[in-house]
Structure 1
Amino acid sequence: MPGFSRRHFLTLAGAAALTGCGQRGQFSVASTPSPEAGIQRLLVATTRAADPAPIAYGSGRAEKLDFARLAVSIPPTHRIGNIEWPSRRSVDPARHFALVGADTLPDIEALVRAARSTAGDDEAVLFVHGYNNNFAEGVYRHAQIAWDYEMRGPQIHFAWPSAGRPLEYTYDRDSTLIARDALVTLLLRLLGDRGLSVSLVGHSMGGFLIMEALRQIALTGRRESLRSLVSTTLISPDIELDLFRSQAAALGGLPQPFIVAAAENDRLLRLSSSLSGGTAKLGAVRDLDQLEGLGVFVVDMTALADAGTNHFLPGTSPAVIALIKGLREVRPAPNQTIAVGPVSITLGADGLLGGDSGRPVGTAN
């Protein structure tokens, strides 16, 4: 992939200079990465409206999909679970995440060709970000996850128009519904390509968007296309339990394997629940028996906590990252639960934790 075209580099670099380089939530542009830095490449499909400053796409809602290629520099000092944001003063690619390549793609076929050309035997990962994320935050988080999980296949970032402001919850929820048709179009095109295998990953409200897209695919008579999904993972999904059951029923069964990473002590989902009348959320479910029979493999992270909201432990906790990396080597079975806690985990020969109950439970550092 080439680096910046001159036009894109001047636009982004000028915007960064005018707005204060290195501010959190904005791209930091570097014309060349550190020689020791890693490069994580992303393909982007977005329904965000184009915004020349300070990021390539803003919070406005576009009428059609736009496509791009990005290259993110990962510093050699990177710590697993972190995004090394620069200070306001300067960006140092040897110490900070930086955008080192960007170009637009003309259409969805160009994105599919780009994904196919780098796939090899590795699956493509289609990642859908969550609530209260601007474009740069979503891209950097996807790059960090892909790097920490050592995902070698094509990384496709679906960016829907979140307002990027915590008080705009309703705007964000409506934006996911507006973006639903675009995600369906993208997912069906990827699943229909014989040169690609695809896994879906969604965080928070991105999980809600994924479920709505899968439901729409099923209700329009294209349920069979979902058989080619390698896996679906929802991280801290912001979905009411009753709604999730309804979505699963419309699908006629969840595509397998279907993984939910949840934590009862997720502070943001508690707030989301209070805003919606106290209804239980899938990502903060208290009684895991409520998911019995739905075909969900649950990673229960309640025993862990971070210094913040506990809302993205699979992206920020080195322990959970290590656990889920291990699960990638096996095929999780439906209606199983792993509880994550202070002791190390041992997977059995069948890829599941031992136990007689049929709901194996273990713990991980």
Structure 2
Amino acid sequence: MFAAKLTGPLLLGLLLVSGCASFNASRQDKIYQEVLYLTTREDTGKSDPGERFAGERGKTRYGAAMVAIDPEPVLSAFSVAQTNRLMQRPQLPRRQALQKIQPLQKDAFMEAIGRYSMDREVPEDILIFIHGYKRSFADSVENAARLRYQLAFPGPAIAFSWPSTDSVSGYLADVENLDWSVPALRDLIEGMGERFPHTRLHLVAHSLGNRALLQLLAELLQNDQEADRLPIGQLVLIAPDFDRDIFMRDVAPELHRLPFRKTLYVSSEDFPLMASGKVFQYPRLGDSRELPPIIKGVETIDVSDAINVFNGHGYYEANRATIEDLYFLIRENKPAHERPGLIQVETDEGPYWRLQPVM
């Protein structure tokens, strides 16, 4: 494959330049979509919402954000703007995607989640998105808003925005800042479980953000009662930037014990993950140039056939086939063998699925 021809220095350059690059459309017609956020970034106090939270560590803060989304090109047949429950469309829209934020106290944040319920006391589903490397605060809430729009997700979407440095030289600092933020993510998920015990929590992590989610998984595996108590619906690991060998040794053997669906998306065309493998000298979990990881209790989806060089890492928001597969997974709770566009591949270690491009 083309990816196999890239050398170490070029791969490292791709990692530094692209980070967890997101898709940007060019149309000016906008759809306004709100998301909630929890951030562990330093509060700068600046009035510009895009500069309000920095890449340094800070106190845990909560709020809501309004994001302007480009509706074209259409990347999902299911994309529908969802009703905004907390914030009004701005009268004088900003040119940037992030329009405004509304800081909230923790209790008000929890109450705001309840406003998304329709004919129920609490929302039926909540989406929590954990971003990857080299993402600003604005990037993180924009990614979550676009995901909510593309999945036509009716419940609240929450961006967990940890202090990424948003710089090409900050990769290793990002790793430590994410580790530092794990307790805040744990508190968020546990708080959701206590406040909304009958609501399904869908946890979606991209790239380096998977590191935090995998640390929480390791903790859950040590406490079966805690795992049973949390109302997790789907756990989705997209392009995980995590040591594959450590995962297969320490986490994978026990994952089947967790009582919720676990899905892993991988690719052989993911240049930033190849670069990360060069940095750490060992392959990443989301890199499928070797046989995709086969894990008991986990459905592995190899998207290599469906993506291209331009969306090889951010395919969760820039590739139609992947977005629509996420729709069937999260919105319709379908296992891999029932989702269109997936071809099952049998191996000596067990099956995995290859995602086919949308024609």
TM-score, normalised with respect to structure 2: 0.75
Matched, 1:103 2:98: no
Q: How far apart are 1:284 and its partner, in Å?
A: 0.7
Distance in 2 (alpha carbons) for counterparts of 1:154 and 1:265: 32
Q: What RMSD over aligned residues (CA atoms) do the two structures have, in Å?
A: 3.3
Equivalents in 1 of 2:55, 2:39: separation in Å? 11
1:149 aligns with 2:154: no
Matched, 1:223 2:223: no
Pair 1:196 & 2:189 matched = no
Output the CA distance in 1 between the equivalents of 2:291 and 2:259. 19
Worse overlay, 232-241 or 210-219: 210-219
Change (3 A) 1:163 1:144: same
* 1:234 alignment partner in structure 2: 237
In structure 2, what is the equivalent of residue 65 of structure 1? 60
SS in 2 for 1:142: helix
CA displacement at 1:326 relative to structure 2: 2.9
Per the TM alignment, residue 168 of structure 1 is displaced from its structure 2 partner at its CA by 1.3
Equivalent position to 2:283, from 276, 280, 284: 280
Does the aligned pair in 2 maintain the 1:75–1:94 contact within 8 Å? no
- Higher RCO, 1 vs 2 (CA within 8 Å, ≥6 residues apart): 2
| Cα contact 1:259–1:299 (8 A) shared by 2 | yes
Task: Tell me what 2:210 maps to.
Answer: 207
Question: What is the CA–CA distance in structure 1 between the aligned matches of 2:355 and 2:60, rounded to whole Å?
Answer: 43
The one-letter code matched in structure 2 to 1:173 is V
**In 2: Cα distance, 1:159 partner to 1:170 partner:** 17
The question of 1:305 aligning with 2:307 is answered yes
Q: Take 1:102 and 1:257, find their aligned partners in 2: how far apart are those partners?
A: 33
- Residue correspondence of structure 1 range 238-253 to structure 2 within 5 A: 238-245=241-248, 246-249=250-253, 253=257
Alignment partner of 1:41 is 2:29:
no
Structure 2 vs 1, CA of residues 255 and 248 (structure 1 numbering), >3 Å: closer, same or farther? farther
Unaligned runs of at least 5 residues, structure 1: 1-24, 26-33, 83-91, 339-344
Distance 2:274 2:32 in 1: 36
Q: Using a 3 Å threshold, how does the CA distance of structure 1 residues 356 and 185 change in structure 2: closer, same or farther?
A: closer
Do structure 1's residue 324 and structure 2's residue 299 form an aligned pair?
no
The whole-number CA distance in structure 2 between the counterparts of 1:346 and 1:80 is 16
Contact residue 46 and residue 158 of structure 1 kept, 8 A:
yes
**Residue type matched to 1:243 in 2?**
I
Counterparts of 2:268 and 2:54, CA distance in 1: 33
Q: Are the counterparts in 2 of residues 300 and 337 from structure 1 also a CA contact under 8 Å?
A: no
Aligned residue number for residue 180 of structure 1? 182
Amino acid at match of 2:285: L
Q: CA deviation at 1:257?
A: 0.8
Could you tell me how far apart the structure 2 residues matched to 1:221 and 1:122 are? 24
Matching of residue 55 in structure 1 with residue 51 in structure 2: yes
Q: CA deviation at 1:236?
A: 0.5
Q: In the alignment, is the contact (CA less than 8 A) between 2:197 and 2:231 conserved in 1?
A: no
- Paired residues of 2:220 and 2:227 also in contact (CA < 8 A): no
Say whether 1:364 aligns with 2:357.
yes
Contact 1:48 1:159 in 2 (8 A): yes
Contact 2:255 2:298 in 1 (8 A): no
Aligned to 1:258: 262
> Is the CA contact 2:208–2:241 (under 8 Å) kept in the aligned structure 1?
yes
Q: Is the 8 A contact 2:256 2:298 kept in 1?
A: no
- Which residue matches 2:138? 136
1:215/1:250 contact within 8 Å kept: no
Displacement after TM superposition at 1:218 (Å):
4.1
Structure 1's 260 and 179: CA in aligned 2 closer, same or farther, altered over 3 A? Answer: same
Contact 2:306 2:357 in 1 (8 A): no
Which of 65, 76, 80 is the equivalent residue of 2:75?
80
TM-score for the superposition, normalised by structure 1: 0.74
SS in 1 for 2:116: helix
